[in-house]
Structure 1
């Protein structure tokens, strides 16, 4: 955990220096994020209890690439916590003033996985977003090659301005479905099929403390349906993060 956190810090520092050196030559941006979450929920399923989720992202024009990690703080269900490292790259293009298209590739790495636990996987995703004024809507499709899993998710959101306080309340609702032919690809034996639906909402309040720094407080909810017995559902959790741009 400490090694990955140190790596994030080093990458953020190096990327920041590089961005400063090349700022006049191209549209270059680096964003680092240091967040805490009371639960880690991914696509409607709880994967860990409270955790830190530091990340760094570099963007050049319409291209971007980043490293995101999940570092658990405490055990869950009496089991040892497992770290997660996501390496991703994507391209987002504004087709019109209101419509943008995006493609993204992600490599998921679970360095603490043992035995038949999934150690790594990778997926591609494509999607479109419509936004006008403070209203937005999006639809995305993802395909995980190791799990042979398809995910479709749609969302709508609205940002309520609070000008007197210099902030806003950003609300988003989402609905998704997942279908996998090999849910546990590292397990020996027959493939495990799994499919379920999930939905929830996110409420975020960002507050800019400096020109390049924003603190964001979030309240989140997620539920799932048609999942295996004893799968946790009806999850509420909170997040607190600091985002710094270079």
Structure 2
């Protein structure tokens, strides 16, 4: 069977590379040819190419790299197959045993995690139900009124009458209050959640709603801090006794207060 052109070239290169001198001449000739091609513009670097040429060249590089990598892996696999001993029955048995143990361990772990997940979901549902029940119990006034408006107009009429009577009574009491203390008591009754309704319904001023914590600001009268005259007299007489103190004799050992000069006293 005649040889193909590729086989002829392969054999020619093999004979040429066996001769070291011919190989060096070939390498030198290739370098000079590359320089001539660069000078003539036949070969370009990647920076000198346009976008289309860059795409084609990089695609060719990737294909060559993939081919080289595949050939290297095939060679390594062939070499390893020569030196790798065949698997013995004992190794196969040990491997199966380890695989079963690992699978059993994973299965037990999954079962335990499923139980924990089920327990946590149960706890979550329990607290979710509790929260829903609490929300149903704590209905806001607006929601309560809307529900009653949809259900029974008679109940709504009674509540409106009660609201009107209560509002009129509180407004009258607040306007006819004789002192600040009485107004503060009425304001404390309406503090908290009733504040936004009471300001418009009862005519409270914004000054009334200055808050100190959660309670309306209370104006407390200061107590009388003056000491009684009897106590002052007793203390003065005690310190002026001869067995407690004595008068000084110096001319400048005096003290003046309210244009009244007195001699200083010292302990005996």
TM-score range, shorter chain: under 0.3
Task: Please state which structure has a larger fraction of its residues in strand.
Answer: 1
TM-score normalised to structure 2 length: 0.19
Task: Please state which structure has a larger fraction of its residues in helix.
Answer: 2
Which structure's CA Rg is the greater one?
Answer: 2
